Chain A
Amino acid sequence: GAVVSQHPSRVICKSGTSVKIECRSLDFQATTMFWYRQFPKKSLMLMATSNEGSKATYEQGVEKDKFLINHASLTLSTLTVTSAHPEDSSFYICSANQGLAQFFGPGTRLTVL
């Protein structure tokens, strides 16, 4: 099946710094990728839809200036958490579309100290 990778798998950063998370579709091209956030004992919450070559579409309540998404190629989307704070600590998961199917990355655990 289609494979989606994320890098890094874990990151710890100081409050106020920015962190970039990469999402790659390894064996297929994806015009659309999704970014989710997962809190402990909570469901995955869709943050934004990333479209190759155009601006991302953010869900209500998600700050676009804080969570910068760049989908520069058909195999790579990046999520940058700017000026991170402890409340941004979470598990971030991306997925990529191949047709109508979604394939998920393994997730990135972000801890902001």
Chain B
Amino acid sequence: GDSVTQMEGPVTLSEEAFLTINCTYTATGYPSLFWYVQYPGEGLQLLLKATKADDKGSNKGFEATYRKETTSFHLEKGSVQVSDSAVYFCALSLSQGGSEKLVFGKGMKLTVNP
């Protein structure tokens, strides 16, 4: 079935460090790919997305490129900040009757220290 595998962490980094969170997927057809972020005490928020191969999603300094050949959607940021401390979820979507059904990875908790 369709699934998402991502780094689980937890990961602790110092401010201004480089961040990579690996994400690979298994899917029938051509899913859209997403990164969601959950800040402490808040709901999940869409961070970025890509809907087709070679698309690059970007937001708040984060980037991820849809790689069909490696079925990957790794998240990167060149210089993390304390405010980036959160849980990050990779996800893919499957169309279901006009709605997008999401399949999530397990999430990775990131802590950034000053």
- Report which A residues bind B (CB closer than 8 A): 1, 4, 32, 34, 41-44, 46, 49, 93, 95, 97, 100-107
Which residues 88-104 of B have a CB within 8 angstroms of A?
A: 89, 96, 99-104
Shortest Cβ gap from B63 to chain A (Å): 20
The verdict on A44 contacting B89 (CB below 8 Å), with A97-B99, A100-B100, A102-B100 known, is yes
Q: Is the interface of B mostly helix, strand, loop or mixed?
A: strand
Residue contact A4 to B43, C-beta cutoff 8 Å: yes
> In this assembly, does B31 line the interface, its C-beta being within 8 Å of a C-beta of chain A?
no
Chain B: residues with CB nearer than 8 A to chain A?
4, 8, 36, 41-46, 89, 96, 99-107
Q: In the complex, which residue of chain A has the Cβ closest to the Cβ of B41? A: A106
Chain A residue contacts of B8, Cβ below 8 A? 41
CA of A1 to CA of B42, assembled, Å: 14
> Assuming A49-B101, A97-B99, A97-B100, is B4 touching A43 (CB within 8 A)?
yes
- Residue in A closest to B32 when the chains form the complex, CB atoms: A100
Q: How far is the CA of A49 from the CA of B36 in the complex (A)?
A: 20
Knowing A93-B43, A104-B43, A104-B44 are in contact, say whether A43-B99 is a contact too (CB < 8 A): no
Taking CB atoms, residues of chain A closer than 8 Å to B36 are: 104
Main secondary structure of the interface of A (DSSP, over half): strand
> Are A41 and B106 within 8 A (Cβ)?
yes
Task: Determine how close the nearest CB of chain A comes to the CB of B11; give it in whole angstroms.
Answer: 14
Given contacts A41-B106, A42-B106, A46-B101, 13 further A-B contacts (CB under 8 A): A4-B43, A34-B102, A41-B8, A43-B4, A43-B107, A44-B44, A44-B89, A44-B104, A95-B44, A97-B100, A103-B43, A105-B43, A106-B41
**How far apart sit A46 and B8, CA to CA, in the bound complex (Å)?**
19
In the complex the two chains form, what is the Cα distance from A105 to B46 in whole Å?
12
28 inter-chain pairs at a CB distance below 8 angstroms, sorted by A residue, are A1-B45, A4-B43, A32-B99, A34-B101, A34-B102, A43-B4, A43-B89, A43-B105, A43-B106, A43-B107, A44-B44, A46-B101, A46-B103, A49-B99, A49-B101, A93-B44, A95-B44, A97-B99, A100-B99, A101-B100, A102-B46, A102-B100, A102-B102, A103-B43, A104-B44, A105-B43, A106-B42, A106-B43
